[in-house]
A and B are shown apart, each in its own frame.
Chain A
Amino acid sequence: MRKKIINCSLIIGLLLSVPFAHAADLYVQSVRAPIFLEPTLGSKRLTESVKGELLKEMDKKGDWYQVDYKGVNGWISRLLVSTKPPLGKVSILEETEEMLEKGARKRASAFATAAAARGLAEERARISDKYKVDYEGVEWMEALKIADEEASQFLQEGMEK
């Protein structure tokens, strides 16, 4: 009888220890995250990891993690990584367009949500007359769309000059 219980305990213990094996995983949060030779921004930049990539934490020093990235051993700023995978872009504006691709069933509710969020917000604004508001300006600003890749390329070009 005791043997049975001990066996069960072992199995549970094993089950629990499986996920523990990769507990020190870090996900890159920024689109790009440079990896340095030493835990300081002034040191040599070894390589750049990209958003969502998994890094193995090896050591920690102040605001820096020592990581192993594709065989390169270096330091990455704590600000650019997290133990959770990064979120996708969140927007109250483009959501409806995204949802259109995901099928009709979701569309209606998503559209309603986004529209409601906007409508509600603007309705709220009317409650206040303390400050002048310019929603057209905000929309003008939102209308200008630049993809991350374009901005990334623009930056690259500048740095290579």
Chain B
Amino acid sequence: MKNSRESGVSGQWSVVSGFLFLLLVTVHFFPFTDFAASEDFRKRKSQLKESFTANEDIRAEIVFGRELSARILGRYKLYDDKKLTRYINLVGKGIAQYAGRTEIEFRFAVLDTDIINAFAAPGGYIFITKGALKIMEDEAELSAVLAHEIAHVTERHIVKELNIKGTDDSPAAGLARILGGGTETMRVVFTQMVDKAVEILFEKGLKRQDELNSDRMATITTANAGYDPVALKRYLKKISNNEEKTEILTGTHPSFGERIDNLDSFLEKNQLSDKKQPFLKERFVENVKIK
């Protein structure tokens, strides 16, 4: 009796191990497709990154962006021209309506410096230098440069670059957590984060990929808004000939050559190279009068 029972059990195991072996063989020889690189299909709606990027996170971004803006304005003085700033805001907010994140109130200001550059802080604070405005010839170029900065905000490039890991891999959530922490340690961490963001803006630069991506998104936004889609490329070509004033820009951005090539292929792919849309040169010249 005992013997027969035991052989019964081992018989079961041989069936199982045979089955497992067959299965492993099947798995081994199965023609694999490249989908498998991601198991994203498992993610349920409640687990998606965007799902809980709620108001508190956006608020954290704004608080953070405000801090960063104060440092940008601490470095480059604000160009205190209400009429010009109003114009920049009208153009900026106009194209921002064609960018994804409508929950953010975008604000634009001019920096009193001759270097050619533009900056974006999280939460919608966007700066353009007097030097950049001087070299522009029309509103399409202005809108393209602003759209590039808007893309940095909508895509949360700086927040991502800070690498604050939230519970669900959402960097903004991490920011909100630090902000909500309220302890002295958290304050120090927050300040360090802002300082780190300053370094990214002025020294290190964002990821090459983020810059190229923002160029493409800016092209989409300007094209959608109705401006000349080639404006950003025109602007980049111009500043590439102005190397000495853009040394900071070239230090923190990919080379102009690479950016222009990237735009060329993007314009081509989207059949935008020859699309004729307004430049709005007159309105620009009328509003932007910088000595």
* B-binding residues in A (CB < 8 A): 29-34, 40-43, 51, 77, 79-80, 82, 84, 86-92, 94, 117-118, 120-121, 123-125, 127-128, 130-135, 137-138, 140-142, 144, 146, 148, 150-152, 154-155, 158-159, 161
Contact = CB atoms under 8 A, between A and B. Distances in A.
Interface stretch (B6-14, B57-65, B160-168): B57-65
Interface of B: 50-51, 54-55, 58-59, 62-63, 66-67, 69-71, 73-75, 77-78, 80, 82, 85-86, 89-105, 107-109, 125, 139, 179, 182, 187-188, 190-192, 194-195, 198, 217, 219-220, 223-226, 229, 269-272, 274-275, 278, 280, 282-283
A152 B94 contact: yes
Given A125-B70, A133-B67, A133-B71, 18 more contacts: A30-B102, A41-B219, A41-B224, A77-B224, A90-B105, A92-B59, A120-B63, A120-B182, A120-B187, A124-B67, A131-B75, A131-B195, A134-B77, A148-B97, A150-B90, A151-B92, A155-B91, A155-B225
A134 B73 CA distance: 6
A140 B70 contact: no
Contact of B280 (A89, A146, A161): A161
B270 A135 contact: no
Nearest to B190: A124
B277 to A, nearest CB: 8
B283 A80 contact: no
A118 B80 CA distance: 23
Chain B interface, DSSP helix/strand/loop, else mixed? helix
Contact of A132 (B75, B108, B219, B223): B75
Given A34-B224, A127-B191, A144-B82, A91 B139 contact: no
A121 B66 contact: yes
Contacts of B93: 146, 148, 151
A137 B70 contact: yes
A24 to B, nearest CB: 14
Q: Max chain B CB contacts within 10 Å: which of A51, A82, A92, A137?
A: A137
A88 B103 contact: yes
A127 B99 CA distance: 35
A118 B187 CA distance: 13
Nearest to B139: A158
5 contacts: A91-B62, A142-B107, A144-B107, A151-B94, A155-B226
B3 to A, nearest CB: 42
Contacts of B283: 158, 161
A121 B191 CA distance: 9
Contacts of A130: 195, 198
Given A121-B67, A138-B66, A142-B107, A43 B125 contact: no
Contact of B278 (A124, A142, A161): A161
B267 to A, nearest CB: 8
A33 B99 CA distance: 9
Given A89-B103, A91-B105, A40 B271 contact: yes
B102 A89 contact: yes
A41 B223 contact: yes
A41 B229 contact: yes
A77 B219 CA distance: 13
A133 B225 contact: no
Contacts of A127: 187-188, 191
A62 to B, nearest CB: 10
